[in-house]
Amino acid sequence: MTNALTVAVVQSAGVPFEPDASLETARRLAEQAAHDGSKLTLFPEAFLGGYPRGMTFGATVGRRSAEGREWYRRYHGAAVELDGPQVAELQRISSDTDMTLLMGVIERSGGTLYCTALVIDPGDGLIGWRRKLLPTAAERVVWGQGDLSLPPVVRTRHGQVGVAICWENYMPLLRTYMYSQGVRIWCAPTADDRDGWEATMRHIALEGRCFVLSSNQFSKRSDYPPDYPLDVPSDEVLTTGGSMIVDPLGNVLAGPERSGEAVLTATLDFDEIARSQLDFDVVGHYSRGDLFTLKVSTASSDLVEQDDVHARQGRPKVARSATAARSQTRSEQHPCTRGD
């Protein structure tokens, strides 16, 4: 593990509702990032499967429509399974480019969909994944809730890498927990292109004394199926992106990009983390564990548990490094946190 690392964030919508076509885009952009020297690349939230922007799925209080149910069937069919061919192809892309991939997907597990982030190592394959803890607003109609049995910080060949999906970044207790796990690369796949998002990313970098990577889609109405129920001109921009990379003192190293599809790169100097901690360590010398405590449950919220953890529904075996990270998450709690 070196003290410098070139990383990239991808800004692209992929092809909503068409995961195989999105994989072609993913390979093209991953190869571009690798050509630019990246060894770790972050893709946006819901890159595979699609972010259903503006979709109601025919659901209002007390009513659901037949048309909305059919759109859910299509969305469900476009989601990926963790042991399916799309994830296998992502592992090939990671291996072919010799690059760690962090990929936002819509995960299908039985009848439930999750907004999920995958961590894929070029040698070990899928080493970690996690589901968004709490979908935001109308996302709750179609996405289930995650838990912390799938750790938000994973030990990779580049050190501790954390993933907080979109508005999870506004959950201060989750942030504290992730800081306590020694995160040094904070990845924020998102669907939020508001101006305030830049301030959020810079705040987290300053607060956590870590590097922050944020990746968002740049999408137009024309990226979605022709019959998608969103009545706006085909060339109308639905989200402008705003992808960026920030250092531990809140300085922007790349972005925010708002002009279109892009791959942004920056070289991280990990010595900057120690330099930044001279005057602030939010879970160390600038914390008061005698006054504040945080209790964290890493128990699974699965309805049915079996003795073999790998027999849990929707949880395929992962590489050893992910298991090690999960073990660390359970056993190496910071003094300001309390595990179950």
Catalytic residue list contains 45 = yes
Evaluate whether 78 touches 49 at the Cβ level (below 8 Å). Answer: yes
153 strand-pairing partners:
162
What is the helix (H) or strand (E) element at residue 25, kind and residue range? helix 19-35
Q: Is there a cis peptide before residue 189, judged by omega within 30 degrees of 0?
A: no
DSSP-derived secondary structure for 272-328:
HHHHHTTS--TTTTT--TTT--EEE------SS--SSGGGSTT-----HHHHHHHHH
Name which CATH class applies to 4-339.
Answer: alpha beta
- The mean pLDDT of 87-107, rounded to a whole number, is 98
Q: Is there a cis peptide before residue 256, judged by omega within 30 degrees of 0?
A: yes
Evaluate whether 245 touches 266 at the Cβ level (below 8 Å). Answer: yes
Please provide the average confidence, as pLDDT, over all residues in the chain. Answer: 91
263 strand-pairing partners:
10
CA neighbor of 153 nearest in space, from 123, 124, 185:
185
Q: Which residue has the tokens 């306590």?
A: 180
- The mean pLDDT of 15-37, rounded to a whole number, is 97
- The mean pLDDT of 302-325, rounded to a whole number, is 56
Of 132, 168, 210, 272, which residue is the catalytic one? 132
Of 39, 89, 166, 210, which residue is the catalytic one? 166
Catalytic residue list contains 336 = no
Please provide residue 60's backbone torsions phi and psi, each rounded to the nearest 5 degrees. Answer: -130, 170
Please provide residue 137's backbone torsions phi and psi, each rounded to the nearest 5 degrees. Answer: 50, -125
CA–CA dist 293, 314 (Å, integer): 33
Residue 271 DSSP SS3:
helix
Show the beta-strand stretches assigned E in the chain. 4-11, 40-42, 59-60, 63-64, 100-109, 112-121, 125-131, 153-156, 159-163, 185-190, 211-216, 219-220, 237-239, 243-246, 252-257, 262-269, 294-296, 337-339
Q: How confident is the model at residue 92 (pLDDT cuts 50, 70, 90)?
A: very high
Which DSSP symbol is given to 230?
Answer: -
Lowest mean pLDDT among 28-42, 139-153, 198-212, 290-304: 290-304
Catalytic residue list contains 220 = no
Which tokens go with 132? Answer: 């968004």
Residue range 36-85, pLDDT digits in tens: 999 999 999 999 999 999 999 999 999 999 999 999 999 999 999 999 99
CA neighbor of 212 nearest in space, from 174, 185, 181, 177:
185
Residue range 235-249, pLDDT digits in tens: 999 999 999 999 999
Please provide residue 188's backbone torsions phi and psi, each rounded to the nearest 5 degrees. Answer: -125, 80
Residues 6+ apart with CB under 8 A from 217: 11, 12, 13, 14, 44, 45, 46, 47, 51, 191, 239, 241
59 strand-pairing partners:
64
Residue range 265-299, pLDDT digits in tens: 999 999 999 999 999 999 999 999 999 999 999 99
Which tokens go with 62? Answer: 């007390």
pLDDT of residue 319: 54
Lowest mean pLDDT among 22-26, 41-45, 108-112, 302-306: 302-306
What is the helix (H) or strand (E) element at residue 204, kind and residue range? helix 196-208
CA neighbor of 207 nearest in space, from 170, 244, 159, 243:
170
Which tokens go with 118? Answer: 């995958």
CA–CA dist 284, 217 (Å, integer): 35
